[in-house]
């Protein structure tokens, strides 16, 4: 059968989290969770994934909406990317997240895609997405890490058999905001930091997040630690609309009397996880917010990078983005 024709599956639409957890526990590896479906439907149409059952979470009202709390903001995992982009609350106090949301894909996709789906989506490596038996798919090779491979979109850091990167634009913004991810299962609830939520191939080569069997990401909590800080987000892609980042950068900083008191920077498109730029942060913290500091910090961004045959350009791009995040915010 040709591609673009999905295989048959049973569709379940639970009305609450308890029902969804019952289903994922019962279905096990035969089940597939779907929210907006923007990533999932690609998998199904390409016939690279063939679940026998799909659990549609879109009817679960408790996973929708945004709520202010004493400690900050709670965002349901089913909140759409457009809602994030257009939220006055997020624009005013957590602007880096709104800016990142505005650069996700196209307006049509943002209207349907969810924040939970965006951070849980799988890598876009075309060798893997085409159904080849690479390490990430349970095989014994990485087709992107060969002299002949097309790997300009792949990683500079953290390669461990797999050289694919996280495609999420929202992920670096959540990392710099020090967000927490609420994950539920039938055994209860666990909370992990956004930085720990994403995992590399050295931890588990077949997953990109800590979410395991029988678990659902239900809520994202943003503390008020960085509320109203100075923010910066920039994304470089081959096309301004729809495309995934070659490299993106998110930054949050506190500045007093032109001195950077505190700062967090994370970049996407350079590692399997959003990469904290800790060396650049250390250089900038306590320094004047000026051209010299920005250049020093930017110049440190690519330390330890191991480029592939076709992505050397990412080194200069990464350094410039980190520099601009400090200089231009």
- At residue 46, the pLDDT reads 82
Q: With contact defined as beta carbons under 8 Å apart, do 11 and 54 qualify? A: yes
* pLDDT (tens digit per residue) in 73-117: 999 999 999 999 999 999 999 999 999 999 999 999 999 999 999
CATH fold for domain 64-120+165-327: 3.30.465
In 174-246, where do the E strands start and end? 180-185, 188-193, 216-223, 230-236
Give start and end residues of each alpha helix (H) in 177-300. 194-197, 278-284, 291-300
CATH, domain range 1-60: 3.30.43.10
Domain range summary for the chain, segments of one domain joined by +: 1-60, 64-120+165-327
> pTM of the entire structure?
0.96
* Band (2; pLDDT cuts 50, 70, 90): low
- At residue 202, the pLDDT reads 97
C-alpha angle with apex 245: 129 to 263, nearest 5 degrees? 130
d(CA 67, CA 218): 13
User: Rounded to 5, what percent of the chain is helix, strand, coil?
Assistant: 35, 25, 45
- At residue 48, the pLDDT reads 82
């Amino acid at each position: 059968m040709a591609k673009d024709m999905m295989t048959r599956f049973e569709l379940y639409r639970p009305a609450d989290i308890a029902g969804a957890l019952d289903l994922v526990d019962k279905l096990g590896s035969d089940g597939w969770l779907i929210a907006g479906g923007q990533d999932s439907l690609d998998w199904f149409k390409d016939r690279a994934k063939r679940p026998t059952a799909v659990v549609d979470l879109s009817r679960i009202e408790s996973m929708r909406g945004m709520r202010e709390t004493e400690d900050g903001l709670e965002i349901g995992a089913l909140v759409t990317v457009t809602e994030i982009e257009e939220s006055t609350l997020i624009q005013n106090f957590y602007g880096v997240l709104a800016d990142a949301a505005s650069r996700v894909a196209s307006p049509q996709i943002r209207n349907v895609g969810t924040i939970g789906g965006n951070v849980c989506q799988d890598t876009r490596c075309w060798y893997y997405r085409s159904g080849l038996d690479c390490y990430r798919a349970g095989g014994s090779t990485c087709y992107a890490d060969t002299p002949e491979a097309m790997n300009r979109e792949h990683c500079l850091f953290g390669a461990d058999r797999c050289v694919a990167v996280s495609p999420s634009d929202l992920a670096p913004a959540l990392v710099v905001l020090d967000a927490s991810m609420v994950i539920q299962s039938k055994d209860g609830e666990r909370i992990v930091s956004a930085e720990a939520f994403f995992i590399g191939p050295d931890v588990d080569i077949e997953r990109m997040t800590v979410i395991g069997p029988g678990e659902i990401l239900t809520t994202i909590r943003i503390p008020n630690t960085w509320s109203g800080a100075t923010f910066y987000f920039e994304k470089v892609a081959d096309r301004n609309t729809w495309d995934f980042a070659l490299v993106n950068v998110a930054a949050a900083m506190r500045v007093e009397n032109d001195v950077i008191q505190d700062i967090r920077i994370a970049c996407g498109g350079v590692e399997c996880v959003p990469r904290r730029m800790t060396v650049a942060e250390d250089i900038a913290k306590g320094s004047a917010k000026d051209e010299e500091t920005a250049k020093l910090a930017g110049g440190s961004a690519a330390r330890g990078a191991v480029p592939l045959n076709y992505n050397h350009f990412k080194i200069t791009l990464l350094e410039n983005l980190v520099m601009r995040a400090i200089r231009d915010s």
